[in-house]
């Protein structure tokens, strides 16, 4: 990334302890406007915790997070959402009795702060964009897994987020569905949204990321292009150790 690139989101020395466990240790990261940054690491390495710290669900024990140059550490999730950061959850948790459209409307009204009429217009536009317009009146508990994944993205988009954090949004998808999901992420980037993507499906995250960072036991062990990261001995060790130890 050249110096002409703007940093939209930045973490400096971010640590988070749960009792004696360091879920995150002194993490520095920069997210450049317009990029897709992949975040990988073995189970329990701190990926979800970092996302929770960024969106204010979890306070950092040490360190700071800056969004567009402003210190957002310790702000409420509501405030951070309104400033322009949204997260999709690792566990899909839409309000299952509400329809697909109502779920997206909540994002538009809550995060986007739009009045009802504008929020409905935005909801319709986004449902068409993520190809959920045909199921818009279906209770969200009754749609398929790939549709639920797209609903999570739709809710994030409805908040007018500038940055969307995706936590394993492709889990449970078959290879064709993964290809479609990757196309959708590229289309979201075309809308001007910056993406940070946590994903265990290596082919998917390597294929879509401009840059990647790698966590192991709460520490950042590598950073670079997908190719650099894939060839990094510490990364290979972390993954092989995790699998074969
Ligand atoms: N609320 C919590 N209380 C106590 N420990 C926690 C809490 N949240 C996370 N942890 C611990 O922090 C560590 C990091 O967890 P985290 O969920 O961030 O990992 P992850 O990289 O997202 O893993 P996965 O790939 O399995 O989703 C783990 O050891 C986890 O058990
Ligand atoms: Mg996780």
**How many angstroms separate the alpha carbon of residue 89 from the centre of ligand 2?**
9
Tokens of 53: 């710290």
- Which residues partner with 196 through β-bridges? 37, 165
Q: What is the pLDDT of residue 110?
A: 81
Least Cα distance to 232 among 210, 209, 216, 245 occurs for 216
Distance separating alpha carbons of residues 84 and 157, to the nearest angstrom:
10
Q: What is the pLDDT of residue 112?
A: 75
pLDDT mean across residues, the chain: 92
Pairing state between β 21-32 and 219-224:
unpaired
Residue 225 has pLDDT above 70, yes or no: yes
Q: Is 25 in the pocket of ligand 1 (CB under 6 A)?
A: no
Can you give the residue ranges of every domain in the chain? Answer: 1-76+198-245
**How many angstroms separate the alpha carbon of residue 189 from the centre of ligand 2?**
23
Residue 92 has pLDDT above 70, yes or no: no
Q: What is the largest CA-CA distance in the chain?
A: 56
Ligand with minimal distance to 45 CA = 1
Q: Once rounded to an integer, what is the mean pLDDT over residues 234-239? A: 89
Q: What is the pLDDT of residue 242?
A: 54
Distance separating alpha carbons of residues 238 and 119, to the nearest angstrom:
45
Least Cα distance to 170 among 201, 215, 144, 140 occurs for 201
pTM of the predicted model as reported, rounded to 2 decimal places: 0.94
- Which residues partner with 88 through β-bridges? 166
pLDDT digits (tens, 9 = 90+) for 112-146: 788 889 999 999 999 999 999 999 999 999 999 99
Residues 6+ apart with CB under 8 A from 38: 197, 198, 199, 205, 206, 208, 209, 211, 212, 213, 226
Distance separating alpha carbons of residues 210 and 186, to the nearest angstrom:
11
Residue 93 has pLDDT above 70, yes or no: no
Q: Is 41 in the pocket of ligand 1 (CB under 6 A)?
A: yes
Least Cα distance to 92 among 171, 184, 37, 192 occurs for 171
Q: What is the pLDDT of residue 180?
A: 96
Q: Is 39 in the pocket of ligand 1 (CB under 6 A)?
A: no
Residues 6+ apart with CB under 8 A from 207: 182, 226
Q: What is the pLDDT of residue 101?
A: 96
Tokens of 221: 């062990």
Ligand 1 atom, smallest distance to 215 CA:
21
Q: What is the pLDDT of residue 245?
A: 40
Distance separating alpha carbons of residues 15 and 8, to the nearest angstrom:
20
Q: Once rounded to an integer, what is the mean pLDDT over residues 53-64? A: 97
Least Cα distance to 131 among 181, 198, 204 occurs for 181
Share of the chain above pLDDT 70, in %: 94
> If you count them, how many residues does the chain have?
245
The position carrying tokens 């690491």 is 41
The CATH architecture to which 1-76+198-245 belongs is 3-Layer(aba) Sandwich (3.40)
Q: Whose CA is nearest to atom 11 of ligand 1?
A: 23
Q: Which has the minimum average pLDDT: 9-23, 33-47, 87-101, 219-233?
A: 87-101
Q: Which has the minimum average pLDDT: 85-94, 134-143, 192-201, 214-223?
A: 85-94
Detail the DSSP E strand segments found in the chain: 7-18, 21-32, 36-40, 62-67, 70-71, 85-88, 163-167, 194-198, 211-216, 219-224
Q: What is the pLDDT of residue 113?
A: 80
């Amino acid at each position: 990334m050249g110096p002409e690139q703007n940093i939209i989101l930045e973490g400096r020395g971010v640590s988070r302890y749960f009792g004696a466990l360091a879920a995150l240790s002194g993490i520095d990261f920069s997210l450049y406007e317009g990029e897709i940054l992949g975040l990988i690491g073995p189970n329990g390495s701190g990926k979800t915790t970092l996302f929770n710290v960024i969106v204010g669900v979890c306070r950092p024990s040490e360190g700071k997070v800056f969004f567009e140059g402003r210190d957002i550490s310790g702000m409420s999730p509501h405030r951070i959402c309104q400033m322009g950061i949204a997260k999709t959850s690792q566990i899909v948790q839409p309000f299952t009795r509400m329809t697909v459209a109502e779920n997206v409307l909540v994002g538009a009204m809550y995060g986007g702060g739009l009045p009802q009429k504008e929020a409905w217009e935005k909801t319709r536009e986004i449902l068409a964009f993520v190809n959920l317009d045909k199921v818009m009146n279906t209770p969200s508990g009754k749609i398929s897994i790939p549709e639920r994944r797209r609903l999570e993205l739709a809710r994030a988009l409805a908040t007018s987020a500038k940055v969307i954090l995706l936590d394993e949004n492709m889990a449970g998808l078959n290879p064709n569905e993964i290809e479609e999901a990757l196309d959708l992420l590229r289309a979201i980037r075309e809308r001007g949204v910056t993406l940070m993507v946590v994903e265990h499906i290596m082919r998917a995250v390597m294929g879509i990321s401009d840059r990647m960072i790698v966590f192991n036991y709460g520490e950042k062990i590598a950073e670079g292009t997908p190719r650099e990261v894939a060839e990094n001995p510490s990364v290979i060790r972390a993954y092989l150790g995790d699998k074969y130890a």
